[in-house]
Structure 1
Amino acid sequence: MSLDEVRERAGRNLLEVVHLGDVLVGCTTVRPPKEDTSTATVIARVLPEHRGRGFGEELYERGLEQARALGAAVIETVVLASNEDGLRFALKHGFAETERYVLPGDTAEWIDLRLA
Structure 2
Amino acid sequence: MSDLRIQQPDGEATLKDWQHVHNVIIPTHFLSLDEVRERAQRHHLEVAYRGDDLIGCSTVRPPTDDTLTVTVIARVLAAHRGQGFGEELYARGLSRARELGAEVIETVVLSSNEDGLRFARKHGFVETDRYLLPGDSIPWIDLRLA
TM-score, length of structure 1 as denominator length: 0.97
Aligned residue runs from structure 1 range 30-41, under 5 A: 30-41=60-71
Overall identity of the aligned pairs, in %: 74
How far apart, in 2, do the equivalents of 1:10 and 1:17 lie?
12
Pairing partner for 2:47 from 17, 29, 39? 17
Matched with 2:77 is: 47
- Amino acid corresponding to residue 43 of structure 2 in structure 1: N
Pairing partner for 1:77 from 98, 107, 123? 107
Aligned residue runs from structure 1 range 94-113, under 5 A: 94-113=124-143
CA-CA distance at 1:58 after TM superposition:
0.5
How far apart, in 1, do the equivalents of 2:66 and 2:40 lie?
21
Q: 1:55-79 CA distances to partner (integer Å, 9 max, x unpaired)?
A: 0111100000001101111100000
Confirm whether residue 27 of structure 1 aligns to residue 69 of structure 2. no
How far apart, in 2, do the equivalents of 1:20 and 1:108 lie?
31
**Superposition misfits of 4+ residues, deviation over 4 angstroms:** none
Bigger strand fraction? 1
How far apart, in 2, do the equivalents of 1:77 and 1:38 lie?
14
TM-score, length of structure 2 as denominator length: 0.77
SS of the counterpart of 1:61? helix
How far apart, in 2, do the equivalents of 1:63 and 1:39 lie?
13
How far apart, in 2, do the equivalents of 1:22 and 1:107 lie?
35
CA-CA distance at 1:37 after TM superposition:
2.4
Q: Tell me, which stretches of 5 or more residues in structure 1 are unaligned? A: none
After superposition, the Cα gap between the structure-2 partners of 1:35 and 1:99, relative to the gap in structure 1 and judged at 3 Å, is: closer
Q: Tell me, which stretches of 5 or more residues in structure 2 are unaligned? A: 1-30
